[in-house]
Structure 1
Amino acid sequence: MLAPERHELILRSLRRHGRLRVAELAGELGVSAITVRRDLAELDQAGLLRRVHGGAVGTVGPAPISGGQSSQLTIGIVVPNSTFYYTDVIRGAEAMADRYGARLVLGVSGYDVAVEAERLEKVLGIGVAGLLLSTALGDGRAAELGGWLDDIDVPVVLMERAFGFPDVTGEFDHVRTDHAYGAALALRHLVSLGHRRIGINLSASVTSYWLLKGIEQAASRLGIETFVSPVLLPAHGEDPATLAQLDAFLAECESFGAHAVLVHSDEPAARLVERAMERGLRVPEDLAVIAYNDETAAMAVVPLTAVSPPKLMLGEMACELLLRKIRAAPGRPAATQHLNLLPELRIRASCGALVTGQAGVHAG
């Protein structure tokens, strides 16, 4: 069967059923799923239908979810959580979607791969035109993808993730923070203050994968010594176990001769400062501290110098990139883009801030 014949049958079936599925079409036409996907892509580019996860729908737009207009463009956004770090990412994406007259449908995975699969199925199943995705799988776990990312049939822009060949067949657009640069930014600042030995404490997170890379590279280039502690710092608590963890890291710093630390993220860094002061240490004179994330760093007992990822801008740029891909002219697809956004260092009292009454003299 020639392509024009298949296209006519596909459009006829779409008019009859309102929605098509790749697997059913492949069986009905007696061709492979790959051939069906190619046909749907060609018809989508011609404006005759709109591809969605697993198949296609008509061009009038997805059905409303909760009272919206049926013609309004709908975009899916699936993230590990909707609080702290991702609050601003979601806000940025929502603001950009609003500028384009589109709406977002949110799915939250809780960093659980199985839950993420369910959320993706639900979000894609309503017929979204595209997907913003920050998967529960971090870049260090790319081998676990198993090709499922390639099976998504709508444009995808990854946020804070960078998956490519050989873990996926094609290249995906992504917008991410250059966390390796952020780690280097922190170490460079501490070195400028005279520190040559620096303690590192990282939470068990996706971000830590890139922070470690940045720390290794920066330490080599700056000619300094660092140690990465295995101690998991608590964000709060006064029980003996919590205090023991804080004390253990402080003891490691003392043994290593480190009077400066980089801690991911804000809450453990703030609790470390409190414990250090309880033990008679001065911050930043005896212990200079830089936090990573800058969500609550400014509200610590001693306001924390912090590396601040551009979370709001990340959401805005990812959403704009996706919308441009969706609205690209048929036959002229938008180029794939890999965008790295640089975080900034916000200097406060925990190291590098001007000492009151001593202009030109820096603490920490």
Structure 2
Amino acid sequence: MLAPERHELILRSLRRHGRLRVNELAAELGVSAITVRRDLAELDGAGLLRRVHGGAIGTSPSDASTPGSALTLGIVVPSAGRYYTDIIRGAEAAAARYGARLVLGVSNYDPEVELERIDKVLGVGVAGVLMGTALGDGEAALLGSRLDDIDVPLVLMERAFGFPEVAGDYDHVRTDHAYGAMLALRHFAGLGHERIAVSLQPTKTEYWLRRGVETAAATLGIDFFLSRVELPQSRDDPASLAQLDAFLAECETFGARAALIHSDEHAARLVERALELGLRIPEDFAVVVYNDVTAALAVVPLTAVCPPRFALGETACDLLLRKLHSKPGPVQHLSLLPTLNVRASCGAQTVDSLHGLRAVQG
């Protein structure tokens, strides 16, 4: 069978089924898988179909709406809970508008498991991949060439990988966490606070939050200190009272009547302890939290910087689907800005002493 004849049969099969798999085509046409891949490459180059991992799909949204031909996308994330829940929901919303479906892979913050999840979603025959890796921006080399080997469109979420760690240039959508930290300090400054305590958890976000704090403090003329105390998340944490009291003692020593805390659970427990010691929130001690997952549910609702998690997943999935349904365009690096949700845990600085803090120091 000549190549033009094969091409016509391939396109006819694509119109009928909506997507094609290399192995099935090879059996149907009676040729090798290598020959089929070569044919698909030529048809892709002519704009008549789009090659994906293990096969091919149509080139327009109408192709995806053909019964039985819905696009399948892979989404690999470190966790399906907490921070990433809304990101997944946002991606699902965008996928639904295109008649696409998602296949989820969760790495549990394990880079080796992450590689396995990538392979599994690719093995399903996905047309593209959304990836929120467990690795930080400077750790892309730990993935080796795995990203560069992915032969379907890829959009990174909350990470920015590029040369020299990886060979390819990848689309990404991320939160401007540094801007979020600046929002918090700008809010404190507007309330008259000039000395701020900062508690950051050792996560991949810490670097950007610290940069935002440093930039805002220098611009606004605010003094701050980065606490070395690891705040507990709940009453069940060993030595939780000692940790909380140590942080409050640092605030007393520094003269800070306001704190930026990452994240919600740590701030909620800190506020509970401050109230136990007789502090008034926010009159004696004001708090802004970074994340806003459960901040509104704290005993004193917490003012919070809220990363645009749902919009991030939605934007990333929309970007991926538009790349699948249109001619290849330039690589896009998108930053989304957090917002500030003001609640009861903030207030203007007062002349009252932090009467409970001195009791902490004994």
TM-score (norm 2): 0.82
Among candidates 314, 336, 344, match of residue 339 of structure 2 = 344
Tell me the residue number matched to 2:91: 93
| CA–CA separation in structure 2 for the residues paired with 1:144 and 1:195 | 42
Task: Tell me, yes or no, if the aligned pair for 2:264 and 2:293 is still in contact at 8 Å.
Answer: yes
Residue by residue, what CA displacement relative to the aligned partner does 1:210-244 show, whole Å, maximum 9, x if unpaired? 11111121112222221111221111015661111
Deviations 1:293-343 (A, max 9, x none): 111111111110000111111111111100000111xxx312221111111
Structure 2 residue 184 is the aligned partner of structure 1 residue 174: no
Q: Give 1:146 deviation, angstroms.
A: 2.5
- The Cα shift of 1:72 comes to 1.3
Tell me the CA shift for residue 46 of structure 1. Answer: 3.1
1:149 and 2:144 are equivalent in the alignment:
no
Structure 1 residue 170, shift from structure 2 partner: 2.4
Alignment of 1:144-223 (within 5 A): 144-223=142-221
Between the two proteins, the alignment pairs up a number of residues equal to 322
The one-letter amino acid paired with 1:333 is P
Q: Is the 8 A contact 1:52 1:124 kept in 2?
A: no
Aligned-partner SS, 2:239: helix
In the alignment, structure 1 residue 106 sits paired with structure 2 residue 101: no
1:134 Cα shift? 0.3
Give the aligned partner of residue 51 of structure 1.
Answer: 51
User: Once structures 1 and 2 are overlaid, which stretch shifts more, 159-168 or 289-298?
Assistant: 159-168
After superposition, the Cα gap between the structure-2 partners of 1:161 and 1:111, relative to the gap in structure 1 and judged at 3 Å, is same
Counterpart for residue 223 of structure 2: 225
Contact 1:18–1:57, Cα closer than 8 Å, also in 2: no
Shift of 1:86: 1.0
CA distance in 1, matches of 2:294, 2:122: 34
Deviation at 1:84, TM superposition (A): 1.3
Q: Measure, in 2, the Cα distance between the counterparts of 1:89 and 1:73.
A: 19
1:245 aligns with 243
Please tell me whether residue 16 in structure 1 is matched to residue 14 in structure 2.
no
Change (3 A) 1:18 1:126: farther
Q: CA RMSD in A?
A: 2.8
- Paired AA for residue 252 in structure 2: E
The one-letter code of the counterpart of 2:336 is L
Amino acid across the alignment from 2:51:
R
Residues 75 and 286 of structure 1: is their aligned pair in 2 closer, same or farther, counting only changes over 3 Å?
same
Tell me the residue number matched to 1:272.
270
1:48–1:59 contact (8 Å) kept in structure 2: no
Normalised TM-score (structure 1):
0.81
How many Å separate the matches in 2 of 1:245 and 1:180? 26
How far, CA to CA, are the matches of 2:45 and 2:203 in structure 1? 39
Question: Is contact 1:145–1:167 with CA below 8 Å preserved after alignment?
Answer: no
Residue 118 of structure 1: how far off its partner (Å): 0.8
Structure 1 portions without partners, runs of 5+? 30-35, 62-67, 354-364
- CA–CA distance in 1 between the matches of 2:140 and 2:194? 35
